[in-house]
Amino acid sequence: MAGSNHRNRFRNIDNTGFGPNSSVEGGRLINPDGSTNLRKRGLPIWERISIYHTLLRMDRGPFFFWIFLFYTSINVVFASIYFFIGVNNLSGIDPAQTAFQQFTAAFFFSSQTLTTVGYGHVAPSGMMTNIVASTESLLGILAFAVVTGLIYGRFSRPRAYLRFSGNLLVSPFKSSTALMFRTATYKNNHLTDVEAQMTVALHVTENGKIVTRFYQLPLEISKINSLALSWTIVHPINEESPLYNFTEEDIKNSKMEVIVTIKAFDDHFSNVVMQRTSYTYNQVVFGGRFLPMFERAQSGQYTLLELDKINTHERVVLPQRVFSEN
């Protein structure tokens, strides 16, 4: 592989959290959403999975679906209990109704009891029915306290709200080339003291065995004071780069993956936020250049940032020496 002698000058990073044994890796190391591409086993699922963290990180649609499913299921369970105890112990339900109508009435009584609404149209009578209704009321208070805490936790959890370009570009840069991607905030939050870090994972052959080596990629600018618009993060491919002398074929053969970490201070949350993503070798565009994604508004009163253009780029001709000499 081209550039192997040059790369030996660089210190391999061993604090990434990933091991060097390539034979145990499954696909990419980091998913586009920043999570690790990892599954765990060896313990029961209730010990491996944190329900709290899962619900906090879950997308909005599935989160409310599971809340609705839990609410419906618990009402079905208690409606079944009332039904088997006997709906004659629930005053207000007509015993002449069909079994389905009686079960439906018990279901809605359960929902009113669970939420402590209690319209009073149906009321429990008898010791057993009152015990079940009291138990359900307590469960409802506890359940809604948990759901309220989860919703608040999701709402108040600090997030970077960063969007990344879909591709990593190899572009002309000064007298050589550079590896670059683009990021921008997509909410009305304000990030300051923004730091970027790029780490490359290369699969190389050493002593007849394929291993993974990690190298820090020096950036042209690694920290900016404020991320008001977009930021194109650039790694110059020169003699200070582990990718120096690499060809397009070398990138593919090494199954290169670039891990990106952005850390910043959010003024609204008054807290440090972080977001990760990664680019694999098949997301690299050789000979691309990002097009501007912001412009002055027609009124001239403000700057318009077009987030849907974050990955917009044009094809360009690279220097004859793509990364450098071969």
For the segment 91-124, what is each residue's pLDDT rounded down to a tens digit? Answer: 888 777 888 988 998 899 899 899 888 777 888 8
* The CATH number of domain 4-38+159-315 is 3.40.50.620: no
Interval 285-297: pLDDT, tens: 999 999 999 988 8
Reply yes or no on whether the pLDDT at 262 is more than 90: yes
In this predicted model, which residue has the larger pLDDT, 76 or 158?
Answer: 76
- H-helix or E-strand containing 54? helix 51-57
Q: Which residue intervals of the chain bear CATH 2.60.40.1400?
A: 4-38+159-315
Task: State the pLDDT confidence band at 325, using cuts at 50, 70 and 90.
Answer: very low
Which pTM was predicted? 0.78
Distances in Å between the Cα of 305 and the Cα atoms of 104, 182, 195 are: 53, 13, 21
Residue 13 confidence (pLDDT): 66
- Say what the pLDDT of residue 197 is: 95
Cα separation, 317 vs 255, whole angstroms: 24
- Which three-class secondary structure state does DSSP give residue 313? strand
d(Cα 259, Cα 232) in Å, to the nearest integer? Answer: 15
- Average pLDDT value for residue range 30-50: 82
CATH assignment of 47-156, given 1.10.287.70, 1.10.260.40, 1.10.1740.10, 3.40.50.300? Answer: 1.10.287.70
Compute the distance between CA of residue 269 and CA of residue 160 in angstroms, rounded to an integer.
10
What's residue 326's pLDDT?
Answer: 43
- Identify the residue with better confidence: 194 or 88: 194
pLDDT tens-digit map of 136-154: 999 999 999 999 999 998 8
Closest by CA to 135, choosing from 63, 67, 85, is 85
CATH 1.10.287.70 occupies which residues in the chain?
47-156
Q: Is the pLDDT of residue 269 over 90?
A: no
Residue 172, pLDDT score: 92
